[in-house]
Structure 1
Amino acid sequence: MTTDLSWCDLFIFREADRMLLTHPLALLSLLLVVHASSPLVSPSVRHEFRRNLPSGWTPVRRAPSTSVLPLRIGLVQPNLDQIETLLLDVSHPESPNYGQHWSPEKVASTFRPSKHSVDTVRQWLYSEGIAVSRVKLNGNGGWIEANVTVHEAESLLMTEYHVYEHADTGTRHIACGQGYHLPEHISKHVDLVTPTIHFDIKLKREPIGSEKRDHGAKPGVGKSIGQPGSGVVIPKTTGFIKHILDELSQCDQFITPNCLRALYNFIYVPLAANKNSYGIVEYTPQAYVPEDLDLFFTNFSKSQVGQRPDLVGIDGGFVQSSQIGFGFNGESNLDLQFGMALVGKKQKITLYQVGDDVEGASFNNFLDALDASFCTFEGGNDISQDGIYPDPFGGYQGPEDCGKVKKPANVISTSYGYNEADLTPAYTARQCAEYAKLGLMGVTVLYSSGDFGVAGNGNLCLNPDGSQTGDGKLFNPSFPGGCPFITSVGATQLNPGANVTDPEVACEQVIFSGGGFSNYFPIPDYQKEAVDSYLTNSPPPYPKDIWNSTGASRAFPDISANGANYVIAVNGEFSLVFGTSASSPVVGAILTAVNDARLAIGKTPIGFINPTIYSAGFRDAFNDITSGTNPGCRTFGFNATEGWDPVTGLGTPNFPKLLARWILLP
């Protein structure tokens, strides 16, 4: 086994250099001493890489060797290789520890990097000539930082740093291109190093007019996931509606809260609302309009007129009112109008509003607020994807809201998502592990599966080299949909002319239910039987090189709900809206009711639901969807079929059956 070099070893190697030409025999004796005292440094291995540069970036020259980089080394968390087993222990219905969720303190102590990892990486830096005074360990023990020159970083990581320029903005940034290396014995203690391949920095957006009304227009360059036109999951609309009738006979044309209650037999009055919680996440500049809530409630839930969600602003998050139109208000209005109406007046909803109105935010910014250690773990946020606060572009000037949310809501719904290929495997792995930790603490995390079928956001597909283009031919899975520790929600619809009592089909009206197989994450144990059955009984008729056909990767979605023809109020008018972004908050409302019933009888929240819903006891607790496809990438996509499928998952919720089964669990 390789051990770390001591200061004595370093002296010996330096003396060896000096003696090489002058005292050959002495050198031989010295090397024999080295061999006896400690092994040589381990060979280097490629630690992380990316195939392609992000769109718009081009190298313009080598980085100056004397430029200083804030090198951050994220240490591996112990027990992460056991995180699925640990999560199943509190989440699988057959486990004797079902529902015995962990405290935040237990989660933190279980996954805190070890002293051995800290010491090993420190010794390596010292051995490479980085002075002890320059090496710092952060307060949470998750990462090591040292300001180093480009020359030193290139030597440490066996790579080359360049200055990259963005074609649209002229922004320049130093990064190391496509990969870097670490000594083998160091690599096992490190998750990732920054700045390295995560080099596409936050781009300042152009000024936005105060009265922008263009529906869905893209106001400048930026990667904030709340920005209209940025390529993430946001609802689609076919325009305004002049006349609305809240009639069950018209649910094939207009989905209202009563239609959803009828579809999923969802009738419930909260009994333990003061003990329960439901959180909906929005990303600035997406913002709800208070007057629109009242317009919606006036038509569909009169007792809630004047009711508002409890606002928790994160990293400068607030309900902005200067940018208006469907592109800015459609998502948040949709989530809150239906989420609040379905849970009813007694159950409060928490609105997690993330990011300021200049830079915006990412999922990591939200997770920072739930877990203070996540803020700095593995070097902290990635400037290529996450909001960095204080905002360097003049917005929110406070510090990152690390650990602001002391107790997360029992159910958290998010109607946004990336393409998996937008992000590096290391970035997604870091975030996915955090969802597992939330599951250990009893939180149900829901994400929309995407609206472009087997294609990615923007209808982009993959090419063999990993790039994404409109004419690509390889299926492009979503994230976090491919993370095995969240519940991915797809979309269904009522066919035109169908009754509310008729079976739903996969959504093929305006949007297509996102689904498929991850290229990053292995299949979790809880899903193996369902996926094996699908691949055996309904094998997709496509070449195996255009989708992940191994049968060994995480498949999604897990469940689904209606995602077509939603009636929402936006800026004083009613619009028809489509998207898995509608499906997720509906499922969240139904699961919140399940939690209420369990809490009312002294039981714990349902937490991470995937091991339960895939279990034999829940096999008939969903309305199986057996018709429809999810087209994309010049194909018809996958087929909805009996049992689980990568279009609608296990199906839509049957509330009475789900409630009965969860009530019986410990």
Structure 2
Amino acid sequence: MRSPWRSLVAVSLALLSSAGSLLANYSVHEKRTHIPSGWALNRRHNLTSTIPLRFALKQKNIEDIGNYLYDVSHPKSPNYGKHWTATEIVRTFVPSNETVDIVRSWLIASGIGRERISLGRTKGWIQVNVTVEEAEQLMNTEYNVYTHMSGKEHVACEVYYLPQHVQPHVDFVTPSVHFDAKLTRRSGGGGGGGGSAPPARDIGQPGVGNTPKTTGTVSGIIGELEQCDKYITPICLRTLYDLFYDPVATDKNSYGIVEYTPQAYLDSDLQMFARNYSADLIGKKPYLVSIDGGYAQTIHKNFSHNGESDLDLQYGMSLVTGKQTLTLYQTGDLPEGASFNDFLDAIDGSYCTFEGGDDPTQDGIYPDNLPGGYTGPKACGTVKPASVISTSYGYNEADLSPFYAGRQCAEYAKLGLMGITILYSSGDDGVAGINGSCLNSSHIPSADGHIFNPSFPGTCPYVTSVGATMVKPNATVFDPETACMEVIYSGGGFSNYFAMPEYQKNVVDHYLTNYRPDYPSTIWNSTGTSRAYPDISANGANYVVAVDGEFHLIYGTSCSSPVVGAIFTMINDARLALGKGPIGFINPTIYSPEFACTFNDITEGSNPGCGTAGYNTADGWDPVTGLGTPNFSKLFALWLLLP
């Protein structure tokens, strides 16, 4: 389909060039380079059809959000720990009146009646229902209809222009060049660069996203320290990371783990695990917070539906002990499912309509009119976020557009400003994407791809990405661990979307100077200017987990993230007991020279993928295990000294 497409583009650009005076004060705002996989140009769109045109307004001060976050998160800053309120965040980033007035005035001057122009509740976007002909005149473009191999249709343009005085006030327009902004719900085909990727709201479906692996069931586990190279249990983790701490400020503290329906834990499994490995959990349950109809479903019972949640809760709850209530954020109903955005909507009401609101092809949309769907109102700022939040799910970065990923990444920065620690697992396929997928020359996940495929949200510079290690065969918990190289490989590498944050520049420069990978720059982001991940790691192999009435051995960075979350929750407990605040966004602190001694450096192993050996571990930070694994007592001591 490339030749007809190029011909159409040539004709379109020729017509635009002939417009002369019309384009004199216009500039290209966005342009697409290719049609995503699975889609084909069908026809010009009907000029009299109506489309909901949305202008995502430039957020005031958004370009400084990293600096604001750094200011309250760096241990040398005089404002360390002075976290913001939700009101302060809204006031700081809401689009200016000037931005709203300029975009609105341009629309009115272009013939759009005032009564047709709608401003979002948080002033994040302007919407106007227009005909295709009006949209084309507004933005000097042509709208076409594209057909997916599934038969679904999507409206988009190849390029669009905005007046030069309007451009600084608009982030992007939908629908336009993006293929994660389709018009109908459940249209299929994925988003962003990955035409065949499932929608973001399918993150809880079996086989979608980053899910734990198992080598089968085990029996007769004793749980002694001598067996930790074969079977990881809570005592192994406590010994590995020196996590011997009895919480004392549990009424002030909070730890949350996010699950996405239909993934669900079974209480019978939690009690089975408690009887064998965590007696103080017997009879206890997580505090369940239902988001958009989420509940611990029991219709589907198997490893694919229960393994993730059972793992997260059994170890998350064990390591913070039975004294600390763990909050389970169960997100999405059974028919619809949910995405990370749906969870973020629930904990931050300002996010619900931020930059145009959710994408109906990617995110769960509620009320849900499907049979058995949740018919209540969508959760929007109705849930209090915990001080530490761990999520063991993820996407390929390329499966989402840069705009979708960037919009979400900014929200993680806002949560960090409010003092919330956000953890995500880094992925289980080394330098490859989920299920070993790599990118082709168009940066689309493909069976014949050979370009490294980073994960998301781990590549967002405002979250803490957690990789995986393991106890070496025949070694003890007192010996150095290695990068996980059994069943899974620790996800790690360099983002294709996000720039390198200042906090990690020195350690990544050290790695690239002394241990630079010998791969052509065509298969990895070798610029040395992009966000590198993971940040830290924890054990991710041989976990003993009760699933559906049997003990399984489980592997994955899905294991690592809730463990790290428990460690930081216990550090918060100690700080809160002294009248101090939570640690919040931890990356500037853990990358600081003062904290270099608080991690166990991992210097063995690699993370293969995409037909290569991947990256190697090294002295200091590396793109396999990050800074290394945490030593609780050392982190505890230094964090108690901070304001």
Q: Same fold (TM over 0.5)?
A: yes
Moved more, 558-567 or 311-320: 311-320
Amino acid at match of 2:186: L
Tell me the residue number matched to 1:558: 535
Which of these residues, 330, 341, 345, is aligned with residue 364 of structure 1? Answer: 341
Structure 1 residues 77-476: aligned runs within 5 Å: 77-168=59-150, 170-172=151-153, 174-196=154-176, 197=178, 198-200=180-182, 202-203=185-186, 223-230=201-208, 232-394=209-371, 395-405=373-383, 407-476=384-453
Deviation at 1:50, TM superposition (A): 4.4
Tell me the residue number matched to 1:647: 624
Moved more, 641-650 or 453-462: 453-462
Secondary structure (helix, strand or coil) at the match of 1:387 reads coil
Deviations 1:347-397 (A, max 9, x none): 011111111111111111111111111111111001232111122534222
Structure 1 residues 495-574: aligned runs within 5 Å: 495-574=472-551
Moved more, 444-453 or 196-205: 196-205
- Contact conserved, 1:52 with 1:467, CA < 8 A, in 2? no
Amino acid at match of 1:572: G
Deviations 1:291-350 (A, max 9, x none): 111011111111211211111111111111111211111111110010001100110111
The yes-or-no answer on 1:56 pairing with 2:33 is no
Deviations 1:573-622 (A, max 9, x none): 11111110110000000000000000000100000000000001101100
- Contact conserved, 2:201 with 2:364, CA < 8 A, in 1? no
Task: Provide the C-alpha distance between the structure 2 equivalents of 1:449 and 1:562, rounded to a whole number of angstroms.
Answer: 13
Task: Provide the C-alpha distance between the structure 2 equivalents of 1:580 and 1:355, rounded to a whole number of angstroms.
Answer: 23
Secondary structure (helix, strand or coil) at the match of 2:405 reads helix
The yes-or-no answer on 1:65 pairing with 2:43 is no
Give ranges in structure 2 of 5+ residues lacking alignment.
1-20, 189-197
Amino acid at match of 1:43: N
Deviation at 1:177, TM superposition (A): 4.6
Amino acid at match of 1:282: E
- Contact conserved, 1:58 with 1:166, CA < 8 A, in 2? yes
- Contact conserved, 1:417 with 1:479, CA < 8 A, in 2? yes
Amino acid at match of 1:432: C
Q: Structure 1 residues 179 and 631, CA, compared in 2 at 3 Å: closer, same or farther?
A: farther
Deviations 1:601-656 (A, max 9, x none): 01000000000000011011000000100001111000101000000000000010
Amino acid at match of 2:92: T
Amino acid at match of 2:563: V
Task: Provide the C-alpha distance between the structure 2 equivalents of 1:433 and 1:564, rounded to a whole number of angstroms.
Answer: 32
Q: Structure 1 residues 393 and 73, CA, compared in 2 at 3 Å: closer, same or farther?
A: farther
Deviations 1:79-112 (A, max 9, x none): 1111111111110000011111011110110001
Secondary structure (helix, strand or coil) at the match of 2:165 reads helix
Task: Provide the C-alpha distance between the structure 2 equivalents of 1:58 and 1:202, rounded to a whole number of angstroms.
Answer: 19
Task: Provide the C-alpha distance between the structure 2 equivalents of 1:221 and 1:485, rounded to a whole number of angstroms.
Answer: 23
Q: Structure 1 residues 199 and 235, CA, compared in 2 at 3 Å: closer, same or farther?
A: same
Identity over aligned pairs, percent:
60
Tell me the residue number matched to 1:601: 578
Tell me the residue number matched to 1:213: none
Amino acid at match of 2:566: A
Secondary structure (helix, strand or coil) at the match of 2:468 reads strand
Task: Provide the C-alpha distance between the structure 2 equivalents of 1:323 and 1:489, rounded to a whole number of angstroms.
Answer: 29
Question: Which has the greater radius of gyration?
Answer: 1
Secondary structure (helix, strand or coil) at the match of 2:597 reads coil
Q: Structure 1 residues 628 and 119, CA, compared in 2 at 3 Å: closer, same or farther?
A: same
The yes-or-no answer on 1:610 pairing with 2:591 is no
Q: Structure 1 residues 637 and 75, CA, compared in 2 at 3 Å: closer, same or farther?
A: same
- Contact conserved, 1:202 with 1:222, CA < 8 A, in 2? no
Deviation at 1:244, TM superposition (A): 1.5
Moved more, 554-563 or 309-318: 309-318
- Contact conserved, 1:316 with 1:355, CA < 8 A, in 2? yes
Deviation at 1:41, TM superposition (A): 7.8
Secondary structure (helix, strand or coil) at the match of 1:412 reads strand
Moved more, 256-265 or 53-62: 53-62
Amino acid at match of 1:358: P
Task: Provide the C-alpha distance between the structure 1 equivalents of 2:159 and 2:336, rounded to a whole number of angstroms.
Answer: 28
- Contact conserved, 1:203 with 1:223, CA < 8 A, in 2? no
**Superposition RMSD on alpha carbons, in Å?**
1.8
Task: Provide the C-alpha distance between the structure 2 equivalents of 1:488 and 1:221, rounded to a whole number of angstroms.
Answer: 22
Task: Provide the C-alpha distance between the structure 2 equivalents of 1:371 and 1:492, rounded to a whole number of angstroms.
Answer: 33
Which of these residues, 584, 609, 612, is aligned with residue 632 of structure 1? Answer: 609
Secondary structure (helix, strand or coil) at the match of 1:261 reads helix
Q: Structure 1 residues 383 and 158, CA, compared in 2 at 3 Å: closer, same or farther?
A: farther
The yes-or-no answer on 1:590 pairing with 2:567 is yes
- Contact conserved, 2:412 with 2:462, CA < 8 A, in 1? yes
Amino acid at match of 1:203: R
- Contact conserved, 2:259 with 2:330, CA < 8 A, in 1? yes
- Contact conserved, 1:204 with 1:359, CA < 8 A, in 2? no
Deviation at 1:247, TM superposition (A): 1.1
Moved more, 189-198 or 90-99: 189-198
Task: Provide the C-alpha distance between the structure 1 equivalents of 2:364 and 2:378, rounded to a whole number of angstroms.
Answer: 9
Moved more, 55-64 or 538-547: 55-64
Amino acid at match of 1:182: L
Moved more, 618-627 or 245-254: 245-254
Amino acid at match of 2:97: K
Deviation at 1:516, TM superposition (A): 0.5
Task: Provide the C-alpha distance between the structure 2 equivalents of 1:399 and 1:61, rounded to a whole number of angstroms.
Answer: 37
Task: Provide the C-alpha distance between the structure 1 equivalents of 2:394 and 2:34, rounded to a whole number of angstroms.
Answer: 21
Task: Provide the C-alpha distance between the structure 2 equivalents of 1:116 and 1:42, rounded to a whole number of angstroms.
Answer: 23
Task: Provide the C-alpha distance between the structure 1 equivalents of 2:27 and 2:271, rounded to a whole number of angstroms.
Answer: 59
- Contact conserved, 2:469 with 2:541, CA < 8 A, in 1? yes
- Contact conserved, 2:211 with 2:393, CA < 8 A, in 1? yes
Task: Provide the C-alpha distance between the structure 2 equivalents of 1:176 and 1:392, rounded to a whole number of angstroms.
Answer: 27
Deviation at 1:269, TM superposition (A): 0.5
Deviation at 1:167, TM superposition (A): 2.6
Tell me the residue number matched to 2:458: 481
Deviation at 1:55, TM superposition (A): 4.3
Q: Structure 1 residues 469 and 93, CA, compared in 2 at 3 Å: closer, same or farther?
A: same
- Contact conserved, 1:50 with 1:424, CA < 8 A, in 2? no
Tell me the residue number matched to 1:24: none
